Amino acid sequence: MVQELGIILSLPCTWDRIHIDPPFIFGHMVMLPDYPSRVVAKHRTRVDRVSLLFQIILISLGAWWLFSSFGSESSPLYRYVPVLILFSSALLLQDIVEFGPTERMRISTACCIAWPLLLAVAAVNRDEGNMAAVLTLALISAILYYTSRSMLGYDVKTRRWRGMMTTIGFTLAIPIVLGSNPASLLIMTIAASFTTIPILFTKDGLEEERQDFSEQLKDAERHILGLQSGNTLMQQPNSLLKMAREQGWKNPERGTELISEAKREATRIASFVSDVEEIREQSEISVNKAEKVTGFPGRPRKIFEDALTELENGSLRASESRFREAKSEAEMIESNWQNAIEAIDEAEKSISDAQGHLVQGLRSTLNEAKKAMEDENPQYALAIVSEIPSQMDDVEGLMLRARKSLEEAKSEASSYDSDSIGDLNKRLEDANEALDSGNASLAIGLSEGVTRSIRKESEAKTTVQRSLRQVKSIEDRIPAGDSGSEWSRRLDEAKLSADAGKWIEAAESLSVLAEELDDFHSRVEEAREMLEFLDGDWRKLRKRLESSGYGADNKDRISTEGYLAAAERALSEGQIDDCLESLGEADSSMEVLRRLV
């Protein structure tokens, strides 16, 4: 039994053996997680069994009543109405078990229809002596009435539904009491008057709200019509009023909210329209002023007309934006147009009939400014053309500098006598042509290049002539032997270049030759110092060798003296590398001799 209820005794085992979710543990009892649902399911099963049993009983009673009335002399009403009530009760029994919203509606509707029928049966049979049965029927009728009243008494809709269903019940009860005494009919009439007629005409208590809503709706319609004044900008408020008209009679509170919202929207639109109209007036004034300055309708007028079209179409924000744009464009034209025209005139006067490469660029800028004026953009035209006069001053200064440079170059060339004078004159002609065409930068570059070339060659000539006057000292510095022959040849080449008038080439050759001779003599001095040092050291070492018995026939002495002699000979011939190599060999040989003494 315990296991059937979902409760098992705790046993010494692990939960891994029992393939279920972790249970709830209370003391020594373990409750499985599905215990509540299992209990509910078992309870539901018992209830279903009981309801099924009662359904079978009701159906059996209905069948028994039906079969027992087959030979009866009773009217069909008494034979079939109880059967109908029993069968209907059997069907509604399942709704009592479920008892959801739909089931509540069916049960309450059945109660509304059934209690007038039971009351009619009780009223008709009240004089037949079976008062217990009559009172029982009356009690059941009262219970059904109060049940329907409690279930269908929440709002006006449910009360009206109860009234209609109760009316159907009384309508079905008419045949029962129609052939009886007047007292039964009076009882049913009184019952119907107190239980059905009042709830059929019941009200929801919103009459005052509806009246207030109606007045507000009319006031809002008049207000919006007054604001609309023939335009098409009130679509949204009108739409809100339409919604309020549709919903307000059923829900006055919601209708009042929609009316208030429609009024706010209409007021906002009216305020917006007023602002746009003010901006339109300001924009039109600015556009007229701009046209007065320019003498023709231009882009601001087109933008203004587009804004009017947007306003007529109901696009307030778009029209406002276009009005502001037209005003801004017109104010820009009004404030810059005259200044731009004056600046263009001044620029044309400064350029006049000047020609040249630089002037052509300024003319292009001037033409661009005129194009900007045609496009109604005087601000841009003024910005690019206002600097042309100062730029023309710079051009004139540059041309003056070019003329001075050319005159200076011609002056230098006139007193210059060289084989390259033909090339220099050609460059001067090119500079003159560049100056005539207005290309001052090219003229300056060519002229200064000629001047630099002449001065450089003059300086080279002076340097070469001064060096050749001292050629004897240069020849004396050239060493004898094979090493000096190369320098002698290069000196002769420099003389030939000077004789040919190639002064720059001769100067460069003599400069390189002098640098190399300086480097050579520096190395000679270093080698000579080393030779003198080793020679003095050798004299001292030789005395010590003789005192120690090592005579002149010693092979190491012979080698050392030979290396020193070879070093001195190589030094005199300018063979520095051979000299240094011989000195190294001599030092090694002397080291061997030092070990002997």
**DSSP character string of 19-86:** -SPPPEEETTEEE-TTHHHHHHHHHHHHHHHHHHHHHHHHHHHHHHHHHHTTT--S-HHHHHHHHHHH
Query: What pLDDT score does 343 carry?
Result: 81
Beta carbons within 10 angstroms of residue 111's beta carbon: 25
Q: Enter the tokens of residue 404.
A: 């001075």
Dihedral of the alpha carbons of 409, 414, 415, 418, in degrees to the nearest 10: 90
* 24: confidence class by pLDDT, cuts 50, 70, 90: very low
103-106, Cβ contacts within 8 angstroms, sequence gap of 24 or more? 104/151
Say yes or no to pLDDT of 29 above 70: no
* 12: confidence class by pLDDT, cuts 50, 70, 90: very low
Average pLDDT value for residue range 542-558? 77
| Angle between helical axes of 440-469 and 503-547 (0-180°, round to 10) | 40
| Angle between helical axes of 299-312 and 316-351 (0-180°, round to 10) | 180
Query: What pLDDT score does 561 carry?
Result: 81
User: What is the pLDDT of the chain when averaged over all its residues?
Assistant: 70
Say yes or no to pLDDT of 228 above 70: no
Angle at alpha carbon of residue 250, lines to 247 and 251, rounded to 5°: 75
Query: What pLDDT score does 215 carry?
Result: 63
517-521, Cβ contacts within 8 angstroms, sequence gap of 24 or more? 517/474, 517/477, 517/478, 517/487, 520/479, 520/574, 520/576, 521/477
C-alpha to C-alpha distance for 237 and 293, rounded to whole angstroms: 44
* Residue in the structure block whose two tokens are 């009217």: 75
Say yes or no to pLDDT of 126 above 60: yes
Q: What is the pLDDT of residues 30-71, one digit of tens each?
A: 556 666 777 777 766 777 677 677 768 877 877 777 777 776
C-alpha to C-alpha distance for 439 and 395, rounded to whole angstroms: 10
Answer yes or no: are the C-beta atoms of 233 and 273 closer than 8 Å.
yes
Average pLDDT value for residue range 174-202? 75
Say yes or no to pLDDT of 441 above 70: no
Q: What is the pLDDT of residues 266-291, one digit of tens each?
A: 767 766 677 777 888 888 888 888 87
Phi, psi dihedrals of residue 527, rounded to the nearest 5°: -65, -40
Query: What pLDDT score does 552 carry?
Result: 72
* 93: confidence class by pLDDT, cuts 50, 70, 90: low
* 326: confidence class by pLDDT, cuts 50, 70, 90: confident
Query: What pLDDT score does 96 carry?
Result: 64
Dihedral of the alpha carbons of 358, 362, 367, 368, in degrees to the nearest 10: 110
Question: Higher model confidence: residue 345 or residue 395?
Answer: 345
Top mean pLDDT of 101-105, 228-232, 233-237, 246-250 is at 101-105
Answer yes or no: are the C-beta atoms of 567 and 549 closer than 8 Å.
no
* 18: confidence class by pLDDT, cuts 50, 70, 90: very low
Q: What is the pLDDT of residues 400-410, one digit of tens each?
A: 766 676 666 66
List, in order, residues 6 or more apart from 294 with CB less than 8 Å away. Answer: 333, 337, 376
Query: What pLDDT score does 94 carry?
Result: 65
Q: What is the pLDDT of residues 208-221, one digit of tens each?
A: 555 665 666 666 65
Helix (H) / strand (E) containing 344: helix 316-351
Average pLDDT value for residue range 108-132? 77
Among the listed ranges 151-155, 294-298, 420-424, 439-443, which one has the minimum average pLDDT value? Answer: 420-424
241-259: b (≥16 Cβ within 10 Å) or e: bebbbeebeebbeebbebb
Question: Higher model confidence: residue 398 or residue 151?
Answer: 151
* 105: confidence class by pLDDT, cuts 50, 70, 90: confident
Query: What pLDDT score does 285 carry?
Result: 83
Question: Higher model confidence: residue 369 or residue 395?
Answer: 369
Question: Higher model confidence: residue 397 or residue 169?
Answer: 169
Query: What pLDDT score does 23 carry?
Result: 44
User: How buried is 550 (Cβ within 10 angstroms: 0-12 exposed, 13-18 middle, 19+ buried)?
Assistant: middle
